Structure 1
Amino acid sequence: MLNANGFSAYVLHHKNGFRCDWFVNETRIAYLKPELYRRIYNKAGKILHPEAVRKIPLSQGKQSFIDENDILVMPEFYGPDIVHFGQGIKKIILNQNGFMTFQGYSFVKDRLITPYTDKDTLGALVNSEHCADYLKYAFPETQLYRFYLSIDPALFSYQEKKKKQICFSQVKNSADAMQIINILKFRNALADFELVPFVNISEHQVAELMKESLIFISLGNREGFGLPPAEAMACGCITIGYHGWGGEEFFKSEHSFPINDGDIIHFADTIEKVIQAYNNDNSFFLKERKQAADFISKVYSLENEKQALISAWKTIIH
């Protein structure tokens, strides 16, 4: 997206030859040379000026080094160590989960090393209202740029006709899922609904599963945004469960069923009541399902993502 709009950008990976393969992409990639970086600066570190720019060696990029003319975007989970990597190179923190902001920090009162207040940091990109609020409170002086994750309408599209099927991610909060499903099983509340837990399947397979499933149960905990429930709503699923805080902005009671984190009984009871209502009248939730899908497609569109990112980067660079 950035390259298509006049910015020269690469995704950086540590492992040579690696490319994310769980979704389709043609992103330009460069690879870090961490061993070379360590060799250079372990040897030269003692004689370099404290303010010297520490260039980062690359392979397969447009250039051989990341230097002071570039901007390095780093994820929040690298923690305070971001400060020490590529000293003198301008940085943006990509914070997609406020709850991971302080990963790697300490309880030592006077240890105040953080990239958010470092002179090399130009600001932070955030993907949700919750994440923005979190960083505004923790680091009020840090410049924040809100962007929107888009839901691909070519994959996650509204489907009115559904199977009596409940889908959910098997890797999200499996302990709660086990309780909820078994309560429903032993209450004989699932009726003729099938359960389809999923794990390690492609983005395309997830989309197909959501499009055919009437109900999606959301089990995310402390999420930066919570993409699966948003994708499920886009597909017309009755979406029940946890918003994980990051998803609070779209997990609205007028078109979904938000549940307080850990409220197992309310969670199971809500699923049971939704099944009963649907079995009594299979058109009962049509309005809410369509309203949720329309909300997601309007707010989390590719155009909104593009405009927010282009605006952010124009401001950052200029």
Structure 2
Amino acid sequence: MLVGRIIFLNCFPRDYVSGGIKTMYQHALLLRRAGFQVQVLQADGVPPWLSPEVAPMVCGSISNLTPQDMLVFPEVLDGWYGEMMQAPLKARKVIFCQNPYYFFTYKPSLQKLRQWGVSRVLAPGKETALMLQRVLGLDEVPITSPVVDSRLFTPRRKKLQIVFSHWKWARQGPLPDYAGMIQEMLRTKYPQCADVPWVLLKDRSEKEVATLMGESAICLSLGRLESLGMTALEGMSAGCVVVGFHGGGGRDYATTQNGFWHSPEDLEQVVDSLALVLSAFSHGNAMLTKMLEHGLETARQYGPDQASEQLKRVYGQLQM
């Protein structure tokens, strides 16, 4: 049996970095290490932030497609993504749906997927997979999880500070500044917490983010409409106590043992949890020690070795 190429598609600018783009490149690298023929179509060239091991996989164009080749589309189906999706191509088409809520804005349906020639839709977690099955009527949605590298996201000497990032859907319209509201409520209700530093994880490299998480006591999770929620998992791996929202897809891993999880409408409870954790860090608390242990164990389930085995199994079956 002939085994073709696995070609991931990335239409975003070469200097743009997101959790979904990082996951795509991580999957491409793990599959290449496992012996698969892998390319990443990045039309405007090799991203400057890529490691030397990954860069050779990047190509500016693709040609000579065969029925054995596989094109892996993202869930974002506008621009040339949308044109390629609807075009009759020799290669098989797969969608790696890293966020179903983005996907649903393109009005997909089972009929459209069949018309486009999509052979399979993949998801990053169980919650997303089940949602896609229920909403679209898909028989099966294989899971290919994102990667949390504990060698990078590792605990360091802790500071009494809170790391956070803004909700990524902010571009969709005017939305509340959750972080700002929570910070002001914390300062007002618990004045003893007013001087605790807040560190925004914005416009920083992955290495910088990992270092800041490793040094911080708390990771404030503000994800909404998430397929999994990588910030919380990376925070756990870096030895943070996670407080906030699981974003929906985070129900795959969020438990009362590994974090303080709340509804986005219960901001006062988030504030109370932050104050509790800050006090516990200052005075020592066995409960937090156990929570940190559970968090590390949760994050280990998304390590590179586990992801590699999962990818080999899923893509091996797709190429049969």
- Please report the TM-score for the alignment, with normalisation by the length of structure 2: 0.79
What is the CA–CA distance in structure 1 between the aligned matches of 2:65 and 2:204, rounded to whole Å? 35
Where in structure 2 are the equivalents of 1:293-304 lying within 5 Å?
A: 293-297=296-300, 299-304=301-306
Aligned 8 A contact 1:125 1:147 in 2: yes
Matched, 1:234 2:237: yes
**1:75-94 per-position Cα deviation (integer Å, ceiling 9, x unaligned):** 11217756413444311111
Matched, 1:130 2:132: no
**1:28-60 per-position Cα deviation (integer Å, ceiling 9, x unaligned):** 01123xxxxxxxxxxxxxxxxxxxxxxxxx3xx
What is the CA–CA distance in structure 1 between the aligned matches of 2:206 and 2:197, rounded to whole Å? 21
Question: Which residue, out of 90, 99, 102, partners 1:100?
Answer: 102
Aligned 8 A contact 2:99 2:227 in 1: yes
Aligned 8 A contact 2:150 2:238 in 1: no
Deviation for aligned residue 1:23: 6.8
Name the amino acid aligned to 2:70.
Answer: I
**1:76-121 per-position Cα deviation (integer Å, ceiling 9, x unaligned):** 1217756413444311111111112222229xxxx97522x34722
What is the aligned partner in structure 2 of residue 74 from structure 1? 73
Deviation for aligned residue 1:282: 5.2
Matched, 1:26 2:54: yes
**1:109-153 per-position Cα deviation (integer Å, ceiling 9, x unaligned):** xx97522x3472221221111110111112334442112222112
Alignment CA distance shift 1:221-1:313 (3 Å) = same
Alignment CA distance shift 1:123-1:18 (3 Å) = same
Alignment CA distance shift 1:261-1:98 (3 Å) = same
What is the aligned partner in structure 1 of residue 280 from structure 2? 277
Aligned 8 A contact 2:257 2:291 in 1: yes
Deviation for aligned residue 1:13: 1.6
Deviation for aligned residue 1:233: 0.4
Equivalent pairs counted in the alignment come to 280
What is the aligned partner in structure 1 of residue 313 from structure 2? 311
- What SS does the aligned partner of 1:21 have? coil
What is the CA–CA distance in structure 1 between the aligned matches of 2:84 and 2:132, rounded to whole Å? 16
What is the aligned partner in structure 1 of residue 164 from structure 2? 168
What is the CA–CA distance in structure 2 between the aligned matches of 1:215 and 1:153, rounded to whole Å? 17
Matched, 1:2 2:31: yes
Please state which structure has a larger fraction of its residues in helix: 2
What is the CA–CA distance in structure 1 between the aligned matches of 2:246 and 2:48, rounded to whole Å? 26
What is the CA–CA distance in structure 1 between the aligned matches of 2:188 and 2:256, rounded to whole Å? 28
Deviation for aligned residue 1:225: 1.3
Name the amino acid aligned to 1:65.
Answer: N
What is the CA–CA distance in structure 1 between the aligned matches of 2:95 and 2:118, rounded to whole Å? 8
What is the CA–CA distance in structure 1 between the aligned matches of 2:242 and 2:249, rounded to whole Å? 16
Name the amino acid aligned to 1:219.
Answer: L
**1:216-247 per-position Cα deviation (integer Å, ceiling 9, x unaligned):** 10001111111111000011101001111111
What is the aligned partner in structure 1 of residue 221 from structure 2? 218
- What SS does the aligned partner of 2:104 have? coil
What is the CA–CA distance in structure 2 between the aligned matches of 1:81 and 1:267, rounded to whole Å? 44
Point out which structure has higher relative CO (alpha carbons under 8 A, 6+ apart): 2
Alignment CA distance shift 1:282-1:23 (3 Å) = farther
Alignment CA distance shift 1:14-1:236 (3 Å) = same
Name the amino acid aligned to 2:119.
Answer: L
- Please report the TM-score for the alignment, with normalisation by the length of structure 1: 0.80
Alignment CA distance shift 1:220-1:304 (3 Å) = same
**Please, which runs of 5 or more residues in structure 2 have no aligned partner?**
1-29, 171-175
What is the CA–CA distance in structure 2 between the aligned matches of 1:255 and 1:24, rounded to whole Å? 35
Alignment CA distance shift 1:267-1:196 (3 Å) = same
Alignment RMSD (CA, Å) = 2.4
Q: Which has the larger radius of gyration?
A: 1
What is the aligned partner in structure 2 of residue 114 from structure 1? 112
Name the amino acid aligned to 2:220.
Answer: I
Deviation for aligned residue 1:14: 2.8
What is the CA–CA distance in structure 2 between the aligned matches of 1:263 and 1:206, rounded to whole Å? 27
Deviation for aligned residue 1:258: 0.6
Q: Percent identity?
A: 25
